[in-house]
Copies of this chain bind each other. A is one copy, B any other.
Amino acid sequence: MYNILIVEDDEAIANLLYVELKDAGYDCTCAYDGKCAADILEEKMDFDLVLLDIMLPEIDGYELLEYIKPMEIPVIFLTAKGALKERIQGLNMGADDYIVKPFQTGEVIARMAAVLRRCGKSINQLTFSDVIVDLESRKVLQNSLEIELTMKEFDLLVDLIQNRNIVQQRDKLYEKVWKQPFMGDTRTLDTHIQRLRKKLGWEKYIKTVFRIGYRLEG
């Protein structure tokens, strides 16, 4: 799970980000001013990424950026619209990306993912819709709530997500998850699909393709 520090003096924006990122499976901490941010960084150094507003009371974003640099934590600047000079300066100073306010949360998440990937901080995790699947811990989060899946359910889910939008033929799917030939004529696969559907409330995503198999759609 990623640890994100949100540095933003506008509490409304900070909290919005906090909630949305939490939902997207990120652990977040908010700092409402530069000094506070510095303190938090000092105390807990294992952030994976910092979202940094430039206009901050007291210590501003640039100063903070200098402070963060030696920690080698990627930084995404949050800048007001039109403040071109800020952006350029930010990038020159070594920010990894910037996002212009007002922003869509989806965009933030996408940029964050890109930056994290670029920085090699990629963790083995898959996402689909509101679900995050961590391959290392074998945990599944849905809207930040852990969903307990059994082994087969988990493997099945991983396969479906890795092949999203591709029909998985019943026999092939069975053979991949169960690692043995499909003898047909039992309710095993269906039953597990049903269990997955139920636990995740994914009736609409896991489509059955009649006479062929299943497809995770979205």
A residues contacting B by CB (< 8 A) are: 84-85, 88, 91, 94, 96-98, 100, 114, 118, 122, 136-138, 150-151, 165-167, 209-212, 215, 217
* A–B pairs, 20, beta carbons within 8 Å: A84-B94, A84-B96, A85-B88, A85-B91, A88-B97, A100-B118, A122-B165, A136-B165, A136-B166, A136-B167, A137-B167, A137-B217, A138-B167, A138-B209, A138-B212, A138-B215, A150-B211, A151-B210, A151-B211, A151-B212
User: How far in angstroms is the closest Cβ of chain B from A183?
Assistant: 21
Q: List, in ascending order, chain B residues with CB within 8 A of A165's CB.
A: 122, 136-137
Q: List, in ascending order, chain B residues with CB within 8 A of A137's CB.
A: 165-167, 215, 217
User: How far in angstroms is the closest Cβ of chain B from A108?
Assistant: 14
Q: Is the CB of A91 within 8 A of B91?
A: no
Query: Known: A150-B210, A165-B136, A166-B136. Contact between A84 and B91, CB under 8 A?
Result: yes
Whole-angstrom distance between the alpha carbons of A137 and B209 in the complex?
9
User: How far in angstroms is the closest Cβ of chain B from A195?
Assistant: 15
Going nearest first, the 8 A-B pairs with the smallest beta carbon separation are: A136-B166, A151-B211, A138-B167, A137-B165, A84-B91, A138-B209, A85-B91, A137-B167
User: How far in angstroms is the closest Cβ of chain B from A28?
Assistant: 24
Among residues of B, the one whose C-beta sits closest to the C-beta of A99 is B118
User: How far in angstroms is the closest Cβ of chain B from A132?
Assistant: 13
Q: List, in ascending order, chain B residues with CB within 8 A of A209's CB.
A: 138
Q: List, in ascending order, chain B residues with CB within 8 A of A122's CB.
A: 165
Q: A88-B91, A97-B114, A137-B165 are in contact. List 4 more A-B contacts (CB 8 A).
A: A85-B88, A88-B98, A138-B215, A150-B211
